[in-house]
Amino acid sequence: MSMTYAEQTTEFMARIEAGEKIEASDWMPDEYRIALVRFIQMHALSEIMGAYPEKEWVPRAPTLARKLSLMSKVQDEMGHGQLILRIAEDLAAPLGKSREDLIEELFTGQCKFHNVFHMPAPTWADCGVIGWLVDGAAVVSQGALLDSSYAPYARVLKRVCAEEGFHIQHGESICLALAEGTPEQRQSLQDAINRWWEALLHFFGPKEVSNSANILLKYRFRVKTNEELRQKFFTKYITRVNALGLTVPDPNFHWDEATQLWIYADPDWSRLKAITRNEGPMSRERLRLRQLSYEQAAWVRQALTAPVAV
């Protein structure tokens, strides 16, 4: 006796609420599949776009050791994109979407990429702050997904997070060296923190829980809200920034004992909206590079395909 869609959905929700894990080959409601494809596709493509601000610094890193470390990080990010795209592909296939479709949606603007990778990295200190605080924010966000109801994603995140662990230490190393350096180096680090502050707040998304976030929370794909993650980031990192004698560009930033929350000045949310329209400072330039690379490498993908039987 076969079940109706509604009955299958009810059974699926019961599995979720019992803490069961979902695999690629499981039946799943369209709502779950579509929400997951969007989230995981954006994660995969953001990993790839994340290589762009950092690769700009590979030829300009101040020492060979830093260059090697930075190249490793860039290689990791591209690799993460590959690993996570694989997960998105399996979910998207029943929707009739191919790997190429998922990648090309970046160029049409249908798929967005994380705000932080739309921002410029004008100094070496920016490179350090990316590794320390931007990757730190990413680990807060991704670490909270390690118990996701969607098991293939949770499994790949274990590997991804382990490698991000290296990135945050690479970033800390650069920032500690600058913090302990000349007055100019310390100032460049403070300037970079001031420049990146808004992007870090934006990274976790708006305080209001969106429809898509609600779906992901309902199905336990994710369990923490944007605001909970942003608060966790503050808890992990602000005291460390202050410990180095550095500040965040929010004079009223403080811990409120009564509400047990960090109080911060709202960023300009309209600037995040502009970024979601690919109108950030570096959006068009980096997308253009990505699209150029994709088009120029088409012959490589063609050469790598299985030969067609004659």
Interface with other proteins by CB under 8 A: which residues? 23, 25-26, 72, 75-76, 79, 82-83, 86, 89-90, 98-100, 155-156, 159, 163, 298-299, 301-302, 304-307
Residue (82 or 239) nearer to other proteins, CB: 82
CA distance 88 to 126: 31
Q: How far is the CB of 23 from other proteins (least distance, A)?
A: 6
Residue (7 or 26) nearer to other proteins, CB: 26
Q: How far is the CB of 47 from other proteins (least distance, A)?
A: 12
Which residues have CB under 8 Å from 231's CB, separation 6+?
261, 262
CA distance 197 to 200: 5
Return phi, psi of residue 63, to 5°.
-135, 165
Residue (60 or 301) nearer to other proteins, CB: 301
Q: How far is the CB of 298 from other proteins (least distance, A)?
A: 6
Residue (98 or 214) nearer to other proteins, CB: 98
CA distance 97 to 119: 30
Residue (23 or 279) nearer to other proteins, CB: 23
Q: How far is the CB of 158 from other proteins (least distance, A)?
A: 10
Q: How far is the CB of 90 from other proteins (least distance, A)?
A: 8
Residue (252 or 299) nearer to other proteins, CB: 299
Q: How far is the CB of 137 from other proteins (least distance, A)?
A: 22
C-alpha distances in Å from residue 189, one per residue of 22, 115, 133, 160, 240: 44, 21, 12, 27, 14
CA distance 150 to 148: 5
Alpha-helical runs (H) found in 18-123: 30-55, 64-92, 99-108
User: Residue 238's closest CA among 203, 266, 269, 197?
Assistant: 197
Return phi, psi of residue 255, to 5°.
-90, 130
